[in-house]
Structure 1
Amino acid sequence: MNLPYEPDVAFGVHPDLGVGAAVADDQPHLDEVLRKHHFRYSQDLDVYLLPEGTPHNTAVRTVAAATREFQDAGLSVAADPRIMLPPPVPTPDGVTARKTQPGQSLTALTGELHELRRSADVADVLEQILDEHHGAGGALEEFIDTAAAWCERLDTPGGRELGQHLRTIAHHVASLGDRLADAQLDLSAMADVTPKDGPPLADVPLPKRHNVPSVTHTTRARAAVTSSTKRPDGLPAAPGEAPHSRDPAPSPRRTR
């Protein structure tokens, strides 16, 4: 990467060593910030490296956090854009690997919606979510399937049960994708009705969302121990749950 000037700090990525940082001057502040964000100096290579095996998302967040700190101190920072490119996802033999592309986050796509005025443009953004190769919907379904495979690999009753539960969730995600595809088609065929002189969405206050009651840990615990047929004898009741009587319930009387 050729730069017209020499930055104080430059972040790059090596195919074998991972994400690294090079500094222009031997300043204590640069060393302090990099070590604070878990970079360690390599005497042989004269660069700072993240620990081996650092996950991709963790490395990206680390570079972003260190960059903000350097810039707040008035220092110049350069970063190789390839740092943002996620690693390929392992696939079984004979299955085409999913292409990895940066910048397809839901946050970025939601931000785009605030600047759009035509329904066809909104349909284009929604199509990116539904894209078969690098859309967020397919990526979420693949992530849940992979998590299910991880649970099943435990080869325990609990692992197999949770794996099946996750695969059911993945099925719901696929069904949601079908519904979003229907909405995307409707948007693509919808006539544009937004006034040309109307304010952008970013200037219009969004309506309040309906509050959905959250499931608390107490509620989860109570449901787990009351609805399960495998609840062992003598297990204490969930917090706030009244003790159950062991006497059989009286048979209802039949009346004419």
Structure 2
Amino acid sequence: MTLQLEPDVAFGLYPDLGVAAAVADDRPFLDEVLRRHHFRYSDRLDVYLLPGDTPHNTAVHLVARASREFYDSGLSVAADPRIMLPPGVPTADGRPVRETLPGQSLTALTGELHSLRRSADVADVLEQILDEHHGTVGGLEEFIDTTAAWCERLDTPNGRELALHLRTIAHHVAFLGDQLTEAQLDLAVMPDVTPIDAPSLAKVPHLARHELPSVTRTARSRAALSSSPNRPTDLSSRRGQTTRAPAEPISPRLTR
């Protein structure tokens, strides 16, 4: 195997200018692919740049798609991992800033479940989306609240009505987080391991979205009372530490 020391294309962050791409030579194909993904050549800097107002997620997707096209053509690509780091979210004075980390992929976490056998390991994966500072559930709740605030700034009846509806949805998301936390805690104390002869997870049928299975407390109680050799813990004390207070009453949506 021959290692190529210099890549054909390198993506990075240019100070004050955003995402940039540098090419090894002036092959037309390199220019064609970059321009197709909205990069434009700068004579002054001798690099390709995305427009300065390109949103972070859009920039990440454009870099990923261009990289994939180069890889599929047998070219080598290098990328600065800082491209994946999202910018901080503006906050009001006195409010703690939410630390920025590369976004979690629910698709990747879902795929990870297919290789797990122990209940405690599934609990660990579920805990990642429930993390107070970096979890997907908290991020979704913050996103919806921010969208509601944006609608309120319109200062119109429709804007205020939609903001109220969005804040109601945020309450539902907070409630969902509480329910997932309970499920995560139950998984954490279950000593169960997937049988060797169990079907692959991909072959287990999913319920249709409109079907809501009835849930009894029998399995939950059994799991809570079972001691786990993998993760011994005091469930009652842990619940007290992690479960949030009940959500505020949900306001009914206004009608036009």
Aligned to 2:29: 29
Aligned to 1:64: 64
Distance in structure 1 (CA, Å) of the matches to 2:54 and 2:103: 21
Give the secondary-structure state (helix, strand or coil) at the position aligned to 2:21: strand
Aligned to 1:135: 135
Q: CA deviation at 1:105?
A: 1.8
Aligned to 1:45: 45
Paired AA for residue 206 in structure 1? V
Distance change (3 Å), C-alpha of 1:175 and 1:15: farther
Deviations, residues 206-230 of structure 1 (Å, cap 9, x unaligned): 21431549xxxxxxxxxxxxxx975
Aligned to 2:12: 12
State whether residues 115 and 201 of structure 1, in contact with CA within 8 Å, keep that contact through their aligned partners in structure 2.
no
Distance in structure 1 (CA, Å) of the matches to 2:96 and 2:15: 22
Does residue 205 of the first structure (1) align with residue 203 of the second (2)? yes
Where do 5+ consecutive residues of structure 2 fail to align? 212-253
Give the secondary-structure state (helix, strand or coil) at the position aligned to 1:12: strand
Q: CA deviation at 1:136?
A: 0.1
Superposed counterparts of 1:19-168, under 5 Å: 19-168=19-168
Distance in structure 2 (CA, Å) of the matches to 1:91 and 1:76: 40
Aligned pairs, number: 212
Give the secondary-structure state (helix, strand or coil) at the position aligned to 2:41: strand
State whether residues 67 and 77 of structure 1, in contact with CA within 8 Å, keep that contact through their aligned partners in structure 2.
yes
Q: CA deviation at 1:201?
A: 4.0
Give the secondary-structure state (helix, strand or coil) at the position aligned to 2:203: coil
Superposition TM-score, scaled by structure 2 size: 0.78
Q: CA deviation at 1:199?
A: 5.4
Give the secondary-structure state (helix, strand or coil) at the position aligned to 2:169: helix
State whether residues 8 and 76 of structure 1, in contact with CA within 8 Å, keep that contact through their aligned partners in structure 2.
yes
Give the secondary-structure state (helix, strand or coil) at the position aligned to 1:22: strand
Distance in structure 2 (CA, Å) of the matches to 1:8 and 1:143: 38
Superposition TM-score, scaled by structure 1 size: 0.78
Paired AA for residue 80 in structure 1? D
Once the two structures are overlaid, the 10-residue window that deviates more, 67-76 or 146-155, is 67-76
Give the secondary-structure state (helix, strand or coil) at the position aligned to 1:171: helix
Deviations, residues 9-34 of structure 1 (Å, cap 9, x unaligned): 00011241111100001111111111
Give the secondary-structure state (helix, strand or coil) at the position aligned to 2:48: strand
Distance in structure 2 (CA, Å) of the matches to 1:107 and 1:208: 16
Q: Which has the larger radius of gyration?
A: 1
Distance in structure 2 (CA, Å) of the matches to 1:177 and 1:190: 20
Aligned to 1:184: 184
By relative contact order (CA 8 Å, sep 6+), the higher-ranking structure is 2
Aligned to 1:246: none
Deviations, residues 39-84 of structure 1 (Å, cap 9, x unaligned): 0001111000000110011001101111111111111111111111
Distance in structure 1 (CA, Å) of the matches to 2:104 and 2:121: 16
State whether residues 115 and 200 of structure 1, in contact with CA within 8 Å, keep that contact through their aligned partners in structure 2.
no
Q: CA deviation at 1:90?
A: 1.3
Aligned-residue CA RMSD in angstroms? Answer: 1.9
Where do 5+ consecutive residues of structure 1 fail to align? 214-227, 231-256
